[in-house]
């Protein structure tokens, strides 16, 4: 935990994602989906595919946030575009639960999305 915290302070997206996973799973820390979301969002907004996948999963499952298939699709779509096969599979599953209007919105958000540098 100590080393992940140091790395997150330096903007290391892999460390941010690992810290999010630890909170999501309750590994070495009390399970806290809200805290997990915070770390996944930080790395996902910088374009880190694994964090984007995890964020998509949490939106799809409603863990730490209200269930939102549009946001789940957005994050799975971005991760899948980077070659994440699990994200591509989950993207297909989420699409089956979405209305055409929701799908249009999610695709628009993905087209307009740009990574943000965090420090």
- Other C-beta atoms closer than 10 Å to the C-beta of 63 total 16
How many separate domains does the chain show?
A: 1
74 is a domain residue:
yes
Q: How far is CA 1 from CA 27, 51, 93, 118, in A?
A: 10, 18, 34, 20
pLDDT of 100 above 90: yes
What is the rounded distance in angstroms from the CA atom of residue 11 to the CA atom of residue 102? Answer: 33
Q: What is the mean pLDDT of residues 63-90?
A: 97
Helix, strand, coil percentages (3-state) for the chain, rounded to 5, are 70, 0, 30
Check residue 8 and give its pLDDT.
Answer: 86
DSSP 29: S
Reply yes or no on whether the pLDDT at 119 is more than 60.
no
Task: Kindly report the CATH number assigned to the domain that includes residue 29.
Answer: 1.25.40.10
Model's pTM, two decimal places? Answer: 0.91
What domain range is 30 assigned to?
2-112
Asked whether residue 92 is domain-assigned, the answer is yes
């Amino acid at each position: 935990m100590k080393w992940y915290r140091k790395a997150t302070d330096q903007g290391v997206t892999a460390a941010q994602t690992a810290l999010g996973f630890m909170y999501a799973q309750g590994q070495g820390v009390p399970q806290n989906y809200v805290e997990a979301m915070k770390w996944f969002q930080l790395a996902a907004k910088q374009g880190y595919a694994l964090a984007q996948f995890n964020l998509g999963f949490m939106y799809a499952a409603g863990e730490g946030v209200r269930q939102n298939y549009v946001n789940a699709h957005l994050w799975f779509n971005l991760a899948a575009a980077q070659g994440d096969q699990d994200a591509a599979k989950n993207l297909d599953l989420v699409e089956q639960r979405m209305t055409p209007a929701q799908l249009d919105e999610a695709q628009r958000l993905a087209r307009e999305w740009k990574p943000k540098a965090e420090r």
